[in-house]
Structure 1
């Protein structure tokens, strides 16, 4: 668009020059007219050249063209009208948003010119009947067209700004969704793999000690527990992958709910932790989302007991209150957890995602650690 403008401005300047020259050549000379000489042609050329620069200096060009055309007439050269040399500058001033200035200037110049001609003895009826309406019509058209072009240009710019804002918002939304998906995936992988690796590691140690002691039965039981834990982990991973792929709910493998917490407790018991499990909720009344969240809370809490607590006993309690599911996991281990805290942070994020809350810390009047979660139903 920027490269096209000089060409357009050059064409308009050439048209103005040609029309002014044709107006002077086609006019019958009168005794009062001064013959068009080099000065007259020079003034016409000045108007054409100024018109070329009207877009860069609109008001300056309008004033310069007005002064030039009045100087042209004061020197007595043949009439070429007012609308021809001034229409383009007036249009450009209106197109820059100064339509009031263009209107006042056009009508002021017209009034001054035609009143002067009447005072110089020209026929007022001829001027009012033919030349004045033509001049005013051309000026009004130029002003209206310039203002319309300005309005359209501003509308297009506003549309472009709106589209750019929409694109930026879409990009930000996409980035936020991707970040949320990464966090979700990290939580699921941590929950599934962390718990399974802890169980497998403990049972592998038990199997190794049993084999070294020449006791095949405990080693066999440990390997069976490893097999069960691995199978459960594969089911959970399969369900996570299906969710990420966007499979339909009917085709998804079930990821743990409240009814699956007992399996977590059994695996923890087989790993050597004495776990007391209390369930005081009606399973059919627990929504799937709340049940899955409760399962993940217990899974992460028992994983931490197996990894960090050096505990001998744990208590898992799942109860309810109006509108919420309550999950509490206590142990008699060594108190505050070590490690990076990724699991507890992921647990808190998961519960907060469904509008719940999590508290964790040392038990009040006994050694060990406690995780408490309230999950809305």
Structure 2
């Protein structure tokens, strides 16, 4: 784009210089022929030719002024008695420039004025009428008319191109708006279908949940059948929900950050940058359930953040081990006091009266500042609530979390069951 804009700025300037040079050279050649006039060409005559060409450098900004100066300069040249140079050649470029910039009336008036003054002056001097009017006049008129017509046609073509570009831009904008409107309508239709589908699925699940509850202890086969129907209905509903969300997602939506133990380097990078020696060991045999892996990742993230903020040590160890149907996550440092703010250090779990289990299972947590009411979607809670947040996350999955001082430093240990309790 920068190269194109530069080209557009330079090209008119180069064109004007070339046109001015052409006018100066052409008029100088005609002057050097030394035909007619009361005295031969001198330095002033050639300077006049150069000045006539120099007017082309400002023809775009002052087209009418350039035309008027060219006409008056031509009259002054002939009044000084220099050799004849014709009429059309000296003023053709000025006529073309004025017509190119939409000054058609000024061009025609100037051409008529030059022709009339020239013919009257030459006839008053006693020149032959048939030669002046019958021979030379037609050539001058044709050349001036051609210059005016060329300038006007160039202006018309540029105007047509600009109009075509505007029409193309407006058409493109209209098509884009129509496409966006169709996309909105399609998304609204998908949302309505999703609402109807989820409403139906919820009704079926609620109905058969009542059937299973009534059948418990009476008809085990009916209870199992109802529960199986609930499970299959919920699974189909989740599949439909995933497909619908995929359709509703815009192509330009930014991808979500992958929350996985395989991406712990994103967590440990801050500790390494702060001067800690980080030792990470992950021993996982089978793929972990997504809620468990997300909780483990966030617990490690919060614990490492607390180490970076509060620990005076130089080493942090991260362990994630899978055994006996559970995942054990341990973060230990060699510091002396990494406890964040007023949070009391305890070695036993502290139950939370209202654990946000549904929010934890749904995805990354959201912490609300009690003072401002602002919800923070980041995994790192404010100072003083980090351990409580990690404990809530572990307990939402049926696990436990302990945090406290050991002989080697401060240790955070979470035990997360791989299967829901």
Q: Same fold (TM over 0.5)?
A: yes
Mapping of residues 75-90 of structure 1, within 5 Å: 75-90=80-95
Mapping of residues 34-45 of structure 1, within 5 Å: 34-45=39-50
Alignment match, 2:24: 17
Alignment match, 2:209: 204
Bigger helix share: 1
Q: Which runs of 5+ in 1 are unaligned?
A: 245-377
Q: Does 1:8 align with 2:15?
A: yes
Q: Give the Å deviation of 1:56.
A: 1.8
Query: Which whole-Å CA distance do the structure 2 matches of 1:39 and 1:61 have between them?
Result: 20
Q: Is the 8 A contact 1:83 1:139 kept in 2?
A: yes
Q: Secondary structure at the match of 2:34?
A: coil
Mapping of residues 180-219 of structure 1, within 5 Å: 180-208=185-213, 210-211=215-216, 213=217, 215-219=219-223
Q: Give the Å deviation of 1:141.
A: 0.7
Q: 1:232 to 1:7 in 2, by over 3 A?
A: closer
Alignment match, 2:66: 61
Query: Which whole-Å CA distance do the structure 2 matches of 1:10 and 1:234 have between them?
Result: 72
| Residue-by-residue CA offset, 1:258-284 (whole Å, 9 max, x unaligned) | xxxxxxxxxxxxxxxxxxxxxxxxxxx
Q: TM-score, normalised by structure 1?
A: 0.57
Query: Which whole-Å CA distance do the structure 1 matches of 2:52 and 2:67 have between them?
Result: 10
Moved more, 93-102 or 66-75: 93-102
Query: Which whole-Å CA distance do the structure 2 matches of 1:224 and 1:208 have between them?
Result: 13
| Residue-by-residue CA offset, 1:94-152 (whole Å, 9 max, x unaligned) | 22223233112211221112211211222222111332111101011111112211221
Q: Is the 8 A contact 2:24 2:51 kept in 1?
A: no
Q: Give the Å deviation of 1:65.
A: 0.7
Q: Which runs of 5+ in 2 are unaligned?
A: 1-7, 249-421
Moved more, 143-152 or 12-21: 143-152
| Residue-by-residue CA offset, 1:182-226 (whole Å, 9 max, x unaligned) | 112111122112320332144235424643x56524423422542
Query: Which whole-Å CA distance do the structure 2 matches of 1:112 and 1:157 have between them?
Result: 39
Q: Secondary structure at the match of 2:9?
A: coil
Q: Is the 8 A contact 2:64 2:106 kept in 1?
A: no
Q: 1:52 to 1:84 in 2, by over 3 A?
A: farther
Query: Which whole-Å CA distance do the structure 1 matches of 2:47 and 2:241 have between them?
Result: 87
Q: 1:236 to 1:44 in 2, by over 3 A?
A: closer
Q: Give the Å deviation of 1:75.
A: 1.0
Q: Does 1:122 align with 2:127?
A: yes
Query: Which whole-Å CA distance do the structure 1 matches of 2:180 and 2:242 have between them?
Result: 26
Mapping of residues 280-359 of structure 1, within 5 Å: none
Alignment match, 2:373: none
Q: TM-score, normalised by structure 2?
A: 0.52
Measured on the aligned residues, the alpha-carbon RMSD in Å equals 3.0
Query: Which whole-Å CA distance do the structure 2 matches of 1:220 and 1:160 have between them?
Result: 69
Q: Is the 8 A contact 2:71 2:110 kept in 1?
A: no
Q: Give the Å deviation of 1:238.
A: 11
Q: Give the Å deviation of 1:229.
A: 4.3
Q: Which residue of the other structure, out of 223, 244, 248, is the alignment partner of 2:227?
A: 223
Q: Does 1:102 align with 2:111?
A: no
Query: Which whole-Å CA distance do the structure 2 matches of 1:225 and 1:123 have between them?
Result: 115
Aligned length: 241
| Residue-by-residue CA offset, 1:5-51 (whole Å, 9 max, x unaligned) | 111111111111111111011234x5x52232232222222111012
Q: Does 1:163 align with 2:138?
A: no
Query: Which whole-Å CA distance do the structure 2 matches of 1:239 and 1:19 have between them?
Result: 76
Q: 1:7 to 1:239 in 2, by over 3 A?
A: closer
